[in-house]
Copies of this chain bind each other. A is one copy, B any other.
Amino acid sequence: MATAPKVSKTDGKNNHDAADEQADKEQQEAIEQIDEVQNEIDKLNENASEEILKVEQKYNTLRQPYFKKRSDLIAKIPNFWVTAFVNHPQVSALLNEDDEEALQYLTKVEVQEFEDIKSGYRINFYFDKNPYFTNDMLTKEFHLNDTGDPSSESTAIKWNEGKDLTKKTNNGKQGKKRSHEDQESFFSWFGDHGDAGADELGEVIKDDIWPNPLQYYLASEIDEETGGDGG
């Protein structure tokens, strides 16, 4: 333990008599005792964190069968996920027209938090056979290592020839009008590991869409009624 700091303002004397020494000693003892009490408080805080983690893990497990059932039901609804994404303002802003077409083959989304929760999560995207790439699943995974440094990794997308949506010049489709010719593709996100500690799209899917995707799927109704394209 460190010794007590001098409190010069309230003690202008430079001589150090016996009474002073006794007071210094008592203060030093008090500091050591505070330090011991603080260790007890720190232990309680650690126990509290562990218990809260166990509650979170218990409920993560309890939620799984409902997520499974929800995925099975969602699979019965064509274009569920692309509709939910298009209706989510932040995700929608990341989608160009080609992305929206490719995402019509997205049949299932899964968010998996790792067992100790604080260490990271993974998002799995399952695709039907499609003209764009040969993978049937794309995944992006976010980790915090032991020292708290974030990193991410993801599936390499096996694009079909001329179909790589992340390469603007390869988009092909001559004659098709595109209003946002130079907009980056949603699929570029899989290869972007620049901000793994605060991946905006990853966190929107995990924290906003995954807890209740139905509300975004259904939001299109409102759009159709108030806006509407008259087609």
Contacts and interface: CB of A to CB of B under 8 A. Distances in A.
Contacts of A79: 7, 9-10
Copies of this chain held together in the complex: 2
A220 interface: yes
B55 A48 contact: yes
A37 to B, nearest CB: 5
Given A10-B78, A45-B211, 8 more contacts: A7-B83, A41-B63, A41-B66, A41-B211, A44-B63, A45-B59, A48-B56, A51-B59
Interface in A1-29: 2-10, 26-27
A35 interface: yes
A7 to B, nearest CB: 5
A62 B59 CA distance: 25
Interface string A48-84: 1001100110010011001101100110111100010
A76 B4 CA distance: 12
A5 B218 contact: yes
Given A5-B83, A8-B231, A66 B52 contact: no
A34 interface: yes
A132 to B, nearest CB: 16
